[in-house]
């Protein structure tokens, strides 16, 4: 069976948060894949991306880690595609989340951002092709999913340039923060 963890974390002094406030986006993660993954790191990179994008700290995000069979089912049901994919995002309150840092310090009602679904088996295959670790691929896919939750897309060349540029920037800044 899978494990579910609810995490909140204090990062402090992020854009859109009153000075001195804790950044406590609530992230619930459930690993139902049968594959061991570092759920703490997945939550950390998601929280970093959300804070850097100026998402209000009262927001909630759900992350589900699944096996290939369930991912293939979701991919067919929601995207009309056959077989498993690496990541799917299901935004909930798309219109209530802004892009980029907010300067408004007024309290905002709690917002459920949506769900990100990751498949570590597909991530492992992609990681081998890309020449990096499965963990690195899952971090990339998590940031990719967060950006989709926030309304970014890569269907058009200009959109892809913006989204993949943000994805790289967010991953790079998260990795710098983790390096002692």
What confidence tens digit (pLDDT) does each residue in 109-153 have?
578 999 999 999 999 999 999 999 999 999 999 999 999 999 999
3-178 fold = Collagenase (Catalytic Domain) (3.40.390)
Contact 121, 134 (CB under 8 A): no
pLDDT of residue 114: 95
- Which helix (H) or strand (E) segment holds residue 63: the answer is strand 59-65
pLDDT of residue 57: 86
pLDDT of residue 58: 86
Average pLDDT over residues 57-64: 93
pTM: 0.82
**Residue 13 scores a pLDDT above 50:** no
Residue 53 CA to residue 120 CA, distance in Å, equals 25
> Listing from the earlier edge strand, what are the strands of the sheet with 3-7?
3-7, 26-31, 59-65, 111-118, 87-91
SS3 7: strand
**Residue 20 scores a pLDDT above 60:** no
Confidence of residue 93 (pLDDT cuts 50, 70, 90): low
Query: How far is the CA of 5 from the CAs of 49, 70, 77, 169, in angstroms?
Result: 19, 20, 27, 27
**What are the binding residues for Zn(2+)?**
144, 148, 154
**What are the binding residues?**
144, 148, 154
Query: How far is the CA of 117 from the CAs of 30, 80, 94, 134, 177, in angstroms?
Result: 10, 16, 17, 16, 25
Going by the DSSP 8-state scheme, the letter that residue 114 receives in this structure is E
**Residue 103 scores a pLDDT above 90:** no
Higher-confidence residue: 170 or 101?
A: 170
Q: What are the structural domain ranges in the chain?
A: 3-178
Q: Please state, rounded to an integer, the average pLDDT across all residues of the chain.
A: 84
Closest CA to 56 of 27, 12, 19, 97: 97
């Amino acid at each position: 069976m899978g494990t579910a963890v609810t995490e909140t974390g204090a990062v402090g002094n992020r854009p859109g948060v009153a000075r001195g406030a804790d950044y406590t986006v609530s992230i619930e993660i459930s690993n139902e894949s049968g594959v061991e993954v570092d759920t703490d790191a997945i939550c950390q990179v998601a929280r970093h991306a959300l804070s850097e994008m100026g998402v209000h700290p009262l927001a909630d995000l759900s992350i589900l880690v699944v096996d290939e069979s369930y991912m293939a089912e979701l991919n067919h049901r929601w995207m009309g595609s056959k077989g498993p994919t690496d990541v799917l995002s299901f935004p909930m309150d798309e219109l209530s989340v802004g892009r980029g840092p907010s300067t408004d310090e007024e309290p905002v009602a709690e917002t459920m951002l949506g769900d990100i679904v990751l498949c570590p088996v597909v991530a492992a295959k992609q990681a081998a092709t890309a020449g990096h670790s499965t963990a690195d691929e899952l971090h990339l896919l998590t940031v990719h999913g967060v950006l989709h939750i926030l309304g970014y897309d890569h269907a058009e060349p200009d959109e892809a340039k913006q989204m993949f540029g943000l994805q790289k920037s967010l991953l790079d800044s998260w990795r710098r923060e983790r390096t002692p």
